[in-house]
Amino acid sequence: EQNDQRFSFDVRDPCMYRDASVTGLLRHYSDPATCLFFEPLLSRPLPRSFPFTLQHLCRAVICSRTTYRGVDDLPLPPQLRDYLRQYHVRNSKLLAASLLVTELQ
Protein backbone atom coordinates (compact mmCIF):
# COMPACT_ATOMS: atom_id res chain seq x y z
CA GLU A 1 0.00 0.00 0.00
CA GLN A 2 1.10 3.57 -0.55
CA ASN A 3 0.39 6.54 1.66
CA ASP A 4 2.11 9.93 1.85
CA GLN A 5 4.64 8.80 -0.79
CA ARG A 6 5.74 5.84 1.38
CA PHE A 7 5.11 2.14 0.73
CA SER A 8 4.20 -0.39 3.43
CA PHE A 9 2.35 -3.67 3.83
CA ASP A 10 -0.07 -1.89 6.18
CA VAL A 11 -0.17 1.91 5.90
CA ARG A 12 -2.68 2.15 8.75
CA ASP A 13 -0.17 0.72 11.25
CA PRO A 14 2.48 3.34 12.13
CA CYS A 15 4.75 0.60 13.54
CA MET A 16 5.10 -1.14 10.17
CA TYR A 17 8.22 -0.49 8.09
CA ARG A 18 7.76 2.10 5.31
CA ASP A 19 10.00 2.91 2.37
CA ALA A 20 10.05 5.52 -0.37
CA SER A 21 10.18 2.79 -3.05
CA VAL A 22 8.62 -0.62 -3.60
CA THR A 23 12.07 -2.09 -4.26
CA GLY A 24 13.31 -0.71 -0.94
CA LEU A 25 10.33 -2.25 0.84
CA LEU A 26 10.98 -5.62 -0.81
CA ARG A 27 14.71 -5.39 -0.06
CA HIS A 28 13.91 -4.76 3.61
CA TYR A 29 11.56 -7.75 3.87
CA SER A 30 13.79 -10.07 1.83
CA ASP A 31 16.10 -10.24 4.87
CA PRO A 32 14.72 -13.08 7.05
CA ALA A 33 15.94 -11.28 10.16
CA THR A 34 13.44 -8.46 9.57
CA CYS A 35 10.46 -10.68 8.85
CA LEU A 36 7.89 -11.09 11.55
CA PHE A 37 5.74 -14.13 12.06
CA PHE A 38 2.33 -13.48 13.55
CA GLU A 39 0.67 -16.45 15.18
CA PRO A 40 -2.97 -16.68 14.14
CA LEU A 41 -5.41 -15.98 16.92
CA LEU A 42 -8.15 -18.57 16.81
CA SER A 43 -11.52 -18.10 18.46
CA ARG A 44 -11.89 -21.87 18.81
CA PRO A 45 -9.50 -24.80 18.43
CA LEU A 46 -8.65 -25.82 14.89
CA PRO A 47 -9.64 -29.47 14.36
CA ARG A 48 -6.66 -31.57 13.27
CA SER A 49 -6.60 -35.14 12.08
CA PHE A 50 -2.96 -35.50 13.18
CA PRO A 51 -0.85 -34.14 16.04
CA PHE A 52 2.30 -32.13 15.42
CA THR A 53 5.50 -34.06 16.06
CA LEU A 54 7.57 -33.26 19.13
CA GLN A 55 10.37 -32.24 16.75
CA HIS A 56 8.11 -29.68 15.04
CA LEU A 57 6.78 -28.32 18.35
CA CYS A 58 10.30 -27.91 19.76
CA ARG A 59 11.46 -26.09 16.63
CA ALA A 60 8.43 -23.78 16.74
CA VAL A 61 9.05 -22.88 20.40
CA ILE A 62 12.78 -22.25 19.89
CA CYS A 63 12.12 -20.10 16.81
CA SER A 64 9.43 -18.11 18.61
CA ARG A 65 12.01 -17.10 21.21
CA THR A 66 14.91 -16.10 18.96
CA THR A 67 15.54 -14.30 15.69
CA TYR A 68 16.92 -15.71 12.46
CA ARG A 69 20.37 -14.31 13.30
CA GLY A 70 20.00 -15.30 16.96
CA VAL A 71 20.02 -18.97 15.94
CA ASP A 72 23.79 -18.62 15.36
CA ASP A 73 24.28 -17.80 19.06
CA LEU A 74 22.61 -21.00 20.28
CA PRO A 75 24.98 -23.73 21.53
CA LEU A 76 23.80 -26.26 18.94
CA PRO A 77 25.41 -28.34 16.20
CA PRO A 78 25.48 -26.62 12.77
CA GLN A 79 22.95 -29.05 11.26
CA LEU A 80 20.42 -28.25 13.98
CA ARG A 81 20.94 -24.49 13.51
CA ASP A 82 20.29 -24.93 9.77
CA TYR A 83 17.11 -26.84 10.60
CA LEU A 84 15.92 -23.97 12.85
CA ARG A 85 16.71 -21.35 10.18
CA GLN A 86 14.58 -23.25 7.65
CA TYR A 87 11.58 -22.71 9.94
CA HIS A 88 12.17 -18.94 10.03
CA VAL A 89 12.50 -18.71 6.24
CA ARG A 90 9.55 -21.00 5.50
CA ASN A 91 7.22 -19.16 7.89
CA SER A 92 8.26 -15.72 6.67
CA LYS A 93 7.42 -16.86 3.10
CA LEU A 94 4.06 -18.20 4.29
CA LEU A 95 3.35 -14.88 6.00
CA ALA A 96 4.31 -12.89 2.89
CA ALA A 97 2.10 -15.11 0.73
CA SER A 98 -0.86 -14.73 3.09
CA LEU A 99 -0.38 -10.95 3.15
CA LEU A 100 -0.35 -10.90 -0.65
CA VAL A 101 -3.56 -12.95 -0.85
CA THR A 102 -5.20 -10.62 1.69
CA GLU A 103 -4.11 -7.58 -0.33
CA LEU A 104 -5.59 -9.03 -3.53
CA GLN A 105 -8.98 -9.77 -1.95
> If you write DSSP's letter for every residue of 33-91 in order, what string do you get?
GG---PPP--SSPPP-SSPPPHHHHHHHHHHHTS-TGGGGGSSS-HHHHHHHHHHHHHH
The pLDDT tens digits of the residues spanning 57-102 come to 888 888 888 888 888 999 999 999 988 888 765 555 544 444 444 4
The pLDDT tens digits of the residues spanning 3-13 come to 888 888 777 77
Asked if 85 and 68 touch (Cβ cutoff 8 Å), the reply is yes
Which pTM does this prediction carry? 0.44
User: Rounded to whole angstroms, how far apart are CA atoms 86 and 92?
Assistant: 10
pLDDT at 92: 53
Asked if 64 and 100 touch (Cβ cutoff 8 Å), the reply is no
What is the mean predicted confidence (pLDDT) over 5-27?
83
Q: Residue ranges of the domains in the chain? A: 1-30, 48-105
Please report the sign of the dihedral spanned by the C-alpha atoms of residue 16, residue 22, residue 102, residue 48. negative
